[in-house]
Structure 1
Amino acid sequence: MELNMKNLVKWTAFNRRNFIKLAIGGAAGIHMTPLPWKLMDDSAIWTQTWPWIPVPPRGEFINVKSVCQLCSGGCGIEVRKVDERAVKIEGRTDFPVNPGGVCPMGAGGLQLLYDETIRFTGPMLRVGPRGAGKYKEISWDEALSELTGRISALRKQNRPEALAAVDGNREGTTTSVLVQRFLEACGSPNYVRMPGAEDTYAIANRLMMGTEAPMAYDLENSDFILSFGCGLIEGWGTPGRMLHAWGMWNQNPSNKKVRVVQIEPRASNTASKADKWIAPFPGTEGALALGLAHVIIKEKLFDISFATNHAFGFSDWTSPEGKAHPGFSTVVLQRYSPGSVSKITGVDPAEIVSLARAFAKAKAPVALCGKGKGDMSGSVLEFMAVQSLNALVGNINKPGGVLLYDPLPFSPLPEVVKDGVASEGLKKPRLDLAGSSSYPFTRSLINNFTETVLKSQESPVDVLLVFAANPAYSYPHTGPVSYALQKIPYIVSFSPYLDETALIADLVLPDHTYLEKREDVVWPSTLQYPVCAISTPVVKPVYNTRQSGDVLIRMAQAIGGSVGASFPWKGFEEPLKARVKGLYEAGGGTTVYKENLPPWKRLKDRVVVETEYTSFDDMWQKVTANGFWYRPSHEFKRWETLFKTSSGKFEFYSTSLESAIEALAKGKDPKKAMERFGIAADRDEAFLPHFEKPGTGAGNDKYPLLLMPYELINLSSGWLPTPPYLQKTLFDDQVRKKDSFADMNPETAALYRLKQGDSILVESRRGRVPARVNLSEGVMPGVVFLAMGLGHKGYGEPIRDKGANPGEIVDSGKDPISGQTVWWETRVRVAKV
Structure 2
Amino acid sequence: MGLTRRDFVKLVVGGVAGVHLTPLPWKLTDDIAIWTQNWPWVPVPPTGAFSYENSVCTLCPGGCGIKVRKVDDRAVKIEGRTDYPINPGGICPVGMGGLQLLYDEDLRFTGPMKRVGLRGSGNFVPISWDEAFQILATRIRKLRLKGQPEQVAAIDGHRQGSTLSLLISRLMRAIGSPNYIRCPSVEDTYWMVNAIMQGNEGPMAFDLENADFVLSFGCGLLEGWGSPGRILNAWGMWHGHNAKRRTKVVQIESRASNTASKSDQWVAVKPGTEAALALGLAHVIIKEGLYNKEFVESYTFGFEDWTSSDGKRHTGFKTLVLQKYTPSRVAKITGASEAQIEKLAKEFARAKSPIAIFGKGKGLLNGSLYEFMAIHSLNGLVGNIDMPGGVLVYDPLPLKDLPDFEPDPIAESGLKRPRLDQARTKTYPFTQSLINNFTQAIVQAPASPVDTLLVFGANPAFTLPDGGLFYRALKKIPFIVSFSPFRDETALMADLILPDHTYLEKMEEICWPTGLQYPFYGLSRPVVEPLYETRNLGDIVVQLAKSLEEPVASVFPWNNYEEVLKARAEGLFQAGGGMVTYDPQSPPWEQLKKGQKPTPKYKSLEDMWEALKANGMWYKPTHAFRNWAKIFRTPTGKFEFYSTQIQLAVDELSRLKQSPAEVLKALGVKATGDEVYMPHQENFEDGDIKKHYPLVMVPFEMINLSDSWVPSPPFLSKTWFDNQLRKDESFAEIHPKTAAQYGIKEGDRIVIESPSAKAKVRVTLFEGAMPGYVFLPRGFGHVAYDEFLKNKGVNPNHL
Number of the residue aligned with 2:62 = 73
- Cα distance, 1:549 vs. partner? 1.1
Q: Secondary structure at the match of 1:369?
A: strand
Number of the residue aligned with 1:825 = none
Number of the residue aligned with 1:774 = 764
Determine if contact 1:417/1:563 at 8 Å carries over to the other structure. no
Q: Secondary structure at the match of 1:743?
A: strand
Q: Distance in 2 between matches of 1:634 and 1:47?
A: 50
Q: Distance in 1 between matches of 2:744 and 2:452?
A: 48
Q: Give the stretch that moved more between structures: 459-468 or 41-50.
A: 41-50
1:693 aligns with 2:678: no
Number of the residue aligned with 2:742 = 752
Q: Secondary structure at the match of 1:573?
A: helix
Number of the residue aligned with 2:326 = 337
Number of the residue aligned with 2:660 = 670
Determine if contact 1:59/1:82 at 8 Å carries over to the other structure. yes
Number of the residue aligned with 2:239 = 250
Q: Distance in 1 between matches of 2:603 and 2:242?
A: 46
Number of the residue aligned with 1:585 = 574
Question: Pairwise mapping of residues 59-70 of structure 1 onto structure 2 (< 5 A)?
Answer: 59-70=48-59
- Cα distance, 1:478 vs. partner? 4.4
Q: Distance in 2 between matches of 1:664 and 1:495?
A: 39
Equivalent of 1:186 in 162, 165, 175:
175
Equivalent of 2:669 in 679, 699, 703:
679
Letter in 2 for 1:75: C
Q: Distance in 2 between matches of 1:111 and 1:364?
A: 42
Number of the residue aligned with 1:655 = 644
Number of the residue aligned with 1:18 = none
Number of the residue aligned with 1:786 = 776
Q: Distance in 1 between matches of 2:214 and 2:43?
A: 44
- Over 3 Å counting, the alpha-carbon distance change for 1:380 and 1:531 in structure 2 is same
Q: What are structure 2's unaligned runs of at least 5 residues? A: 9-21
Q: Deviation per CA, 1:224-275, whole angstroms, max 9, x where unpaired? A: 0000000001100110100111112122576661000000100000000000
Question: Pairwise mapping of residues 8-19 of structure 1 onto structure 2 (< 5 A)?
Answer: none
**Identity of matched residues, %:** 55
Question: Pairwise mapping of residues 518-557 of structure 1 onto structure 2 (< 5 A)?
Answer: 518-557=507-546
Determine if contact 1:184/1:416 at 8 Å carries over to the other structure. no
Letter in 2 for 1:463: T
Equivalent of 2:206 in 197, 217, 225:
217
Number of the residue aligned with 2:791 = 801
Number of the residue aligned with 1:470 = 459
1:168 aligns with 2:157: yes
Q: Distance in 2 between matches of 1:699 and 1:336?
A: 27
Q: Give the stretch that moved more between structures: 472-481 or 122-131.
A: 472-481
Number of the residue aligned with 2:110 = 121
Question: Pairwise mapping of residues 165-314 of structure 1 onto structure 2 (< 5 A)?
Answer: 165-252=154-241, 257-314=246-303
Q: Give the stretch that moved more between structures: 244-253 or 185-194.
A: 244-253
Q: What are structure 1's unaligned runs of at least 5 residues? A: 9-28, 810-833
1:346 aligns with 2:345: no
Which TM-score applies when normalising by structure 1? 0.92
Determine if contact 1:262/1:271 at 8 Å carries over to the other structure. yes
Question: Pairwise mapping of residues 616-635 of structure 1 onto structure 2 (< 5 A)?
Answer: 616-635=605-624
Number of the residue aligned with 1:703 = 693
Q: Distance in 2 between matches of 1:140 and 1:698?
A: 56
- Cα distance, 1:683 vs. partner? 1.1
Determine if contact 1:261/1:274 at 8 Å carries over to the other structure. yes
Question: Pairwise mapping of residues 442-457 of structure 1 onto structure 2 (< 5 A)?
Answer: 442-457=431-446
1:426 aligns with 2:415: yes
Question: Pairwise mapping of residues 37-48 of structure 1 onto structure 2 (< 5 A)?
Answer: 39-43=28-32, 46-47=35-36
1:315 aligns with 2:297: no
Determine if contact 2:733/2:774 at 8 Å carries over to the other structure. yes
Determine if contact 2:200/2:631 at 8 Å carries over to the other structure. no
How many pairs were matched up?
Answer: 780
- Cα distance, 1:688 vs. partner? 1.1
Q: Distance in 2 between matches of 1:698 and 1:579?
A: 55
Number of the residue aligned with 2:718 = 728
1:378 aligns with 2:354: no
Letter in 1 for 2:792: K
Determine if contact 2:212/2:245 at 8 Å carries over to the other structure. no
Number of the residue aligned with 1:515 = 504
Q: Deviation per CA, 1:85-120, whole angstroms, max 9, x where unpaired? A: 000000011112111100001100000000111111
Q: CA RMSD in A?
A: 1.7
- Over 3 Å counting, the alpha-carbon distance change for 1:171 and 1:337 in structure 2 is same
Q: Distance in 1 between matches of 2:210 and 2:402?
A: 37
Number of the residue aligned with 2:14 = none
Letter in 2 for 1:317: W
- Cα distance, 1:641 vs. partner? 3.2
Q: Distance in 2 between matches of 1:257 and 1:637?
A: 26
- Over 3 Å counting, the alpha-carbon distance change for 1:555 and 1:93 in structure 2 is same
Number of the residue aligned with 1:143 = 132
Q: Distance in 2 between matches of 1:66 and 1:650?
A: 39
Letter in 2 for 1:53: V
- Cα distance, 1:695 vs. partner? 4.6
Q: Deviation per CA, 1:316-374, whole angstroms, max 9, x where unpaired? A: 11111111112111111111110111111111111100000000000000001111000
Determine if contact 1:314/1:327 at 8 Å carries over to the other structure. yes
Determine if contact 1:85/1:539 at 8 Å carries over to the other structure. yes
Determine if contact 2:41/2:103 at 8 Å carries over to the other structure. no
Q: Distance in 2 between matches of 1:796 and 1:303?
A: 56
Number of the residue aligned with 2:381 = 392
Q: Secondary structure at the match of 2:552?
A: helix
- Cα distance, 1:432 vs. partner? 0.4
Q: Distance in 2 between matches of 1:593 and 1:745?
A: 47
Which TM-score applies when normalising by structure 2? 0.96
